[in-house]
Amino acid sequence: MVADVAAGRGRSAWLEGEPGIGKTALLEVGLRDAEAVGCHLFMGRADETDPMFPLRVLLDALQVGPDATDPARAEIVERLWGGSGAGVMTPMDPGLCSAVDAFVA
């Protein structure tokens, strides 16, 4: 799958199982050569208790947070949290659409 992605053919995989059976270890082994073949690897973990779930998974995986130095990421932080990265936005907050649009772009 990594070779396909490196060649420009997108792929997806669904990994499911009980906690502690080694899903993360399996992914780490399968993805260990991703950067060597020119892929940028980003990973995140879901937490059902997070108030921004599932957006939080993508934000964490793509390193969009209060320490972001990349201008595009910093703009998303500003839209979501007013620059501090400390606030909590819920799915009902009116600024969320603008932040999501910037995130997708």
Question: Looking at the chain, how many residues does it have?
Answer: 105
Identify the pLDDT of residue 16: 87
Q: What is the pLDDT of residues 17-64, one digit of tens each?
A: 888 899 889 999 999 999 999 998 888 777 667 665 567 788 888 888
Distance CA 41, CA 50 (A): 23
Q: What is the pLDDT of residues 64-93, one digit of tens each?
A: 888 888 998 888 888 777 755 555 566 666
Containing H/E element for 5? helix 2-6
Q: What is the pTM of this model?
A: 0.57
Task: Check whether the bond before 54 is cis (ω within 30° of 0).
Answer: yes
Identify the pLDDT of residue 105: 78
Residue found by looking up tokens 């050569």 in the block: 33
Q: What are the φ and ψ backbone dihedral angles of 57, each rounded to 5 degrees? A: -60, -45
